[in-house]
Structure 1
Amino acid sequence: MEGTSSLPARRSLLLGGGLLGAGALGAGALALREDPRTEAPLLSATVAIAADGRRHLVGGDSSIPASRLRPGTRLLASVPEDAAPARRADAFMATARPWLDTVPAAHAELAASALADLWVLGDDAPAPVAGWSRSWRYLWPRDGAFCAVALARAGLHDEALGILSHLQSLQREGSWFEARYDLATGRAPDDRPPQFDGTGLVLWAVAEVLEALPTPERRATAAAGLERLVTRSRDLLRSGTGHGEQLPPVSPDYWELRERSVTLALMATTLAGWQAAATVTGESGDAEAAEAFTALLREEFGPAGYQRYARRGGADSALALPTALGAADLVPTADLTRLGDLLRRPAGGIAPGARWKQDGISWTPSTSLLALGLARAGADDEAGSLLTWLAEHRTAAGSLSEKVLYDGRPAAVAPLAWTAANTILTIDALREG
């Protein structure tokens, strides 16, 4: 998850200050020394853009009250109707209107607000940042990939291709993506190590965005424009996994921790990359690598029930990733349903994993990811229930926050790009189903 500045310190926090031994789930032991009623501030209820194009935190702990927000928008009330930001917001939502008109009525308002969240985090920028609170004002390739796919599914094709083009400009030949990027400099803002999962996720996003484009001619033009991104990412998969026959290199995943073993999330995103490479390139070698890596994932992680690590670590919300990213036959739907029970927190959302700190907090990126996995598995009722939960636990301004406290209050960052993207993709999957 986003927004940390010290990885070793965060590992200690998340894993309960060293209470867990290797391979232990430890939920009961953690509960003895951790408060399941942890408090955390809501940094903002949303983000709004002023007439001059600047973003401002609104509500929560910010200095601007939510009363200064124009209802139903991510604009300050003082923005004139003909101001540039207002025109951009109107154009964005008008482009998405045909998609919005087809979503299930029960989720229409949530879909519109999630799109507004992505708009405000990416307006007049090459890609959406993760959030607008200080430590989140960066582009994570992981988030960018999901945002590109969500926007493409909603009919915002130019915006989706713009994100991928920007990621292409950031990718250096032979190098993994950085954990995150400062949009102003195009560089990593700190010394976090590069992360291999961006390679597979960006390839997945390319395949999904191309598929969403309306005509063969548009797809061909877009594919040609992204050829360097596809080639470099596919080459990294080849060198990193021995053409799909070896485990990928150890790397942090969405938990943003330094790891000593390959995680389920890294395996799932690498598989998605191989499957996407096979689709986009059409090369038989890429298809064979995708098949080989699928078998490797099953062989390494399947016997212990797809835990966070191959033989240990307990349940992980990354169990939803294979299905969410297109590998529908890898994880039984019943296992996804059971995951919600295993990781449930008091307010009704889930934690990222069994080894996560037992503080009573639900995390919306993991909850929305599970919703997406369930929707793409055809478990419409279960996915719809999670969407309803997300809708009911937004901020007063309608934005999706990063956390939900034990008693249902939204907390931390709002809006959060990855949660908004997952929400849009889940609604789209239900629409298609």
Structure 2
Amino acid sequence: MRRRFWVPLALATTVLLAGAAAGAKAMSPDERLITAPGYRAAPGYAESGQAAADTRWVAAGIVPGAGTHWSDMARWALVDVRSHLEANGTVSAGPGGPWHHFWPRDGSFAAVALSRTGHSAEAASVLDRMSRLEFDPAVGFRARYAMDGAPLTDRARQSDGCGWVLWAITEVRRDGGAGVPTSAAELRDRCVATLTRLVAGGDRLPPASPDYWEVKVTRTTLGTVAPMLAGLAAAGRDYAVTGDDAAAQRARTTVERLAATVAREMGPGYERFGDVGGLDASTLMLLPPFTAPGDLPTPMVRAVEAAAVRYQREAAQPAGGVAPGVEWLDNGGASWTPQTALVAVTDAAAGRDLEAGRRLDWLDAHRTAYGSLPERVTRSGAPAGPAPLVWTASLVVLALSELETPGP
């Protein structure tokens, strides 16, 4: 998540807080929509060669939700992912400004969405690019990288990245493996080794690190350790599929120990810092499809499921979506689409089709005039912030795909 916003100068006044004299309950004005100059909204796109190329590319794969009222949203979500994918495999998070960078987290979701829809070459390019990013074996990936793959040092490293990458490799291989490049084996081994060291084989929580909130923290967050736990569990399954039974067993042992550590240190409430910090969307990261049955002990799963239900209730926003966390400070009361889409993904994976459908309906109803999913929706229901947001686009594709997968 990008919590410090770049806004064109002409729009700067729209994000100023209401005057201090207005009192403590004053809220900021509704935010404005931010998109790249000349994007699809520009006149002429429908007649352009790019529009025809986008149509052919989508048709060459699979559109989840085809034949439903969500098919238009799915098609544009796929076009938006493709539009932000460079030939070198980097995927920008959104249009321009601080979003025109490559996050391993966002890239992992894009890779799975591309693979799930039959665009295996593009999925492979994203995973291969991740294998060639600057990487510190002691910590992992940078928070983000330039679009040419160069490391950006303006933010602290974020150790959840390896967890998402391991989950992505496993999911892409589950789709048939065509989207898994040869470089993925070394990338998997490197990430497993780094995460195993960070958690001392599962016997401790990892050191504090910024997570998807993109803010400095002094305590370990669930948003950091949940993707690690999910990623290591996924890696264990991937090792088994590729015939490395010894590595699979080592990963499973680490997961068992780490799950016990997380349950002890962050349960039973599973708030952002375990016992404080409020519930946030990281509870969803411990549920399917990010984990599989048997990855986590049953009592832990039940506690996390209960926490996820409370999160959705307590983080509900006026426009109908959710905030990234219960204690996320947002003067405007905006709904955030990535977290709302995460809810849809986990509901669909659990077989709660009606609940997932309601979230997808809400996302569909709050797209931009040109069909893209924005990062936020204002308290009055208008799309806001950068649009499209690739993380949300990828999540919507995955939610629709989960709805088409038989069984919870």
Q: Pick the TM interval, shorter chain.
A: 0.7 to 0.9
Name the structure 2 match of 1:236.
Answer: 194
Closer/same/farther in 2, CA of residues 375 and 171 from structure 1, 3 Å limit? farther
Q: What one-letter code is carried by the residue in structure 1 that aligns with 2:325? A: G
Is 1:202 aligned to 2:202, yes or no?
no
Superposed CA RMSD: 2.4
CA distance in 2, matches of 1:197, 1:86: 36
CA distance in 2, matches of 1:149, 1:319: 20
Is 1:422 aligned to 2:395, yes or no?
yes
Is 1:317 aligned to 2:319, yes or no?
no
Is 1:2 aligned to 2:13, yes or no?
no
2:24 to 9, 19, 33: 33
Closer/same/farther in 2, CA of residues 90 and 327 from structure 1, 3 Å limit? same
Matches within 5 A, 1:155-174: 155-172=118-135, 174=137
**Does the aligned pair in 2 maintain the 1:368–1:387 contact within 8 Å?**
yes
**Does the aligned pair in 1 maintain the 2:30–2:380 contact within 8 Å?**
no
Matches within 5 A, 1:186-265: 186-188=150-152, 190-213=153-176, 218=178, 222=180, 224-265=182-223
Closer/same/farther in 2, CA of residues 312 and 116 from structure 1, 3 Å limit? same
**Does the aligned pair in 2 maintain the 1:210–1:223 contact within 8 Å?**
no
Deviations 1:382-417 (A, max 9, x none): 111011000000110100001110110001100001
CA distance in 1, matches of 2:280, 2:3: 20
Question: How does the TM-score come out when normalised to structure 1?
Answer: 0.81
**Does the aligned pair in 2 maintain the 1:164–1:206 contact within 8 Å?**
yes
Name the structure 2 match of 1:28.
Answer: none
Closer/same/farther in 2, CA of residues 57 and 244 from structure 1, 3 Å limit? farther
Deviations 1:344-396 (A, max 9, x none): 11100111111112421111111111211222222211111011000000110
Is 1:412 aligned to 2:385, yes or no?
yes
Q: What one-letter code is carried by the residue in structure 1 that aligns with 2:266? A: F
**Does the aligned pair in 2 maintain the 1:179–1:192 contact within 8 Å?**
yes
1:69 Cα deviation from its structure 2 partner = 4.8
1:181 Cα deviation from its structure 2 partner = 0.4
Name the structure 2 match of 1:13.
Answer: none
**Does the aligned pair in 1 maintain the 2:281–2:324 contact within 8 Å?**
yes
CA distance in 1, matches of 2:347, 2:66: 17
Name the structure 1 match of 2:77.
Answer: 114
Is 1:347 aligned to 2:319, yes or no?
yes
CA distance in 1, matches of 2:220, 2:146: 27
Deviations 1:3-46 (A, max 9, x none): 6389xxxxxxxxx9xxxxxxxxxxxxxx97253463211112xx
Closer/same/farther in 2, CA of residues 144 and 185 from structure 1, 3 Å limit? closer
**Does the aligned pair in 1 maintain the 2:65–2:400 contact within 8 Å?**
no
Which structure would you say has the larger RCO, counting Cα contacts within 8 Å and 6 or more residues apart?
Answer: 1
Secondary structure of 2:33 counterpart: coil
Is 1:307 aligned to 2:286, yes or no?
no
1:293 to 245, 250, 258: 258
**Does the aligned pair in 1 maintain the 2:89–2:127 contact within 8 Å?**
no
CA distance in 2, matches of 1:3, 1:204: 25
**Does the aligned pair in 2 maintain the 1:34–1:358 contact within 8 Å?**
no
**Does the aligned pair in 1 maintain the 2:377–2:384 contact within 8 Å?**
yes
Secondary structure of 2:71 counterpart: helix
Is 1:394 aligned to 2:358, yes or no?
no
CA distance in 2, matches of 1:165, 1:88: 24
Count how many residue pairs are aligned between Structure 1 and Structure 2. Answer: 375
Matches within 5 A, 1:47-58: 56-58=37-39
Q: What one-letter code is carried by the residue in structure 1 that aligns with 2:151? A: R
Q: What one-letter code is carried by the residue in structure 2 that aligns with 1:180? A: R
Q: What one-letter code is carried by the residue in structure 2 that aligns with 1:68? A: P
Deviates more, 1:401-410 or 1:126-135: 126-135
**Does the aligned pair in 1 maintain the 2:90–2:149 contact within 8 Å?**
no
State the identity %.
Answer: 34
CA distance in 2, matches of 1:390, 1:101: 15
Q: What one-letter code is carried by the residue in structure 1 that aligns with 2:285? A: L
Name the structure 2 match of 1:23.
Answer: none
Secondary structure of 1:170 counterpart: coil
CA distance in 2, matches of 1:34, 1:319: 30
**Does the aligned pair in 2 maintain the 1:336–1:374 contact within 8 Å?**
no
Closer/same/farther in 2, CA of residues 378 and 223 from structure 1, 3 Å limit? same
Closer/same/farther in 2, CA of residues 382 and 403 from structure 1, 3 Å limit? same
CA distance in 2, matches of 1:37, 1:243: 46
**Does the aligned pair in 2 maintain the 1:38–1:406 contact within 8 Å?**
no
- Gaps in structure 1 of 5+ consecutive residues: 7-15, 17-30, 48-55, 60-65, 72-76
Question: How does the TM-score come out when normalised to structure 2?
Answer: 0.85
Name the structure 2 match of 1:68.
Answer: 43
**Does the aligned pair in 1 maintain the 2:65–2:74 contact within 8 Å?**
no
CA distance in 1, matches of 2:263, 2:276: 15
Q: What one-letter code is carried by the residue in structure 2 that aligns with 1:4? A: R
Q: What one-letter code is carried by the residue in structure 1 that aligns with 2:262? A: L
1:120 Cα deviation from its structure 2 partner = 1.1
1:338 Cα deviation from its structure 2 partner = 3.5
